[in-house]
Amino acid sequence: MKAILGILLTIILLPAWAQDEDIPPVTDTKARDKIQAARVAYITDQLQLTPQEAEKFWPIYREFAERRKALRQQLKQAKQNPSPDQNQEQNSQAALDAQFKIKQQELDLEKDYSGRLLKVISAQKLRTLPDAERRFRQMILDQIQRRQMQQERRQNLRDQQQQRLQQRNN
């Protein structure tokens, strides 16, 4: 099953990375949709969700993921936007306070959605979810890194060919 999932993931993501250009930015809707579809397939497989569980699980999970994403964006903004009216120490304290508040909100969100998800899937499957998310992210990062290395190798080969042509012409 893992081999099939790996092939499926490669087929889904390959067109997004098959071009000789840079990896599509996050704002590329097609690439984001393909990654999202691969995420659904991967997590569904890793949690071994039945079709009935998946039908109930994914709407709740998507809602949770959107709310978690919004909180993480708030956290990022709190870290990056110091107040011009305060000195550096006050800004640092305000950023720490905001960070703790947002992390508490994220924990509360996780507790709430864990309760909702436990009505749909087993506790064992729910415990597997963070690991499956982490493995999926790592798999995507590894594929991006491989793609970047391939692009660098191709560019190096092109540069070498160009140098040889220039040397022949001189």
pLDDT in tens, 88-104: 888 788 888 889 999 99
Q: Which residues of 21-59 are buried (b: 16+ CB within 10 A; e: fewer)?
A: eeebeeeeeebeebbeebbbbbbbebbebeeebbebbbe
Query: What is the per-residue pLDDT across 88-144, written as a single tens digit (0 to 9) for each?
Result: 888 788 888 889 999 999 999 999 999 999 999 999 999 999 999 999 999 999 999
Q: What is the mean pLDDT of the chain?
A: 85
In-domain check, residue 21: no
Number of compact structural domains in the chain: 1
Cα gap 75→96, rounded to integer Å? 10
In-domain check, residue 134: yes
Q: What would you report as the CA-atom Rg of the chain, rounded to the nearest whole angstrom?
A: 22
Residue 8 has pLDDT above 70, yes or no: no
Residue 53 has pLDDT above 60, yes or no: yes
Confidence of residue 6 (pLDDT cuts 50, 70, 90): low
Cα gap 8→71, rounded to integer Å? 32
Domain of 161?
A: 2-16+26-169
Q: Which of 14-23, 30-39, 61-70, 147-156 has the lowest mean pLDDT?
A: 14-23
pTM above 0.75, yes or no: no
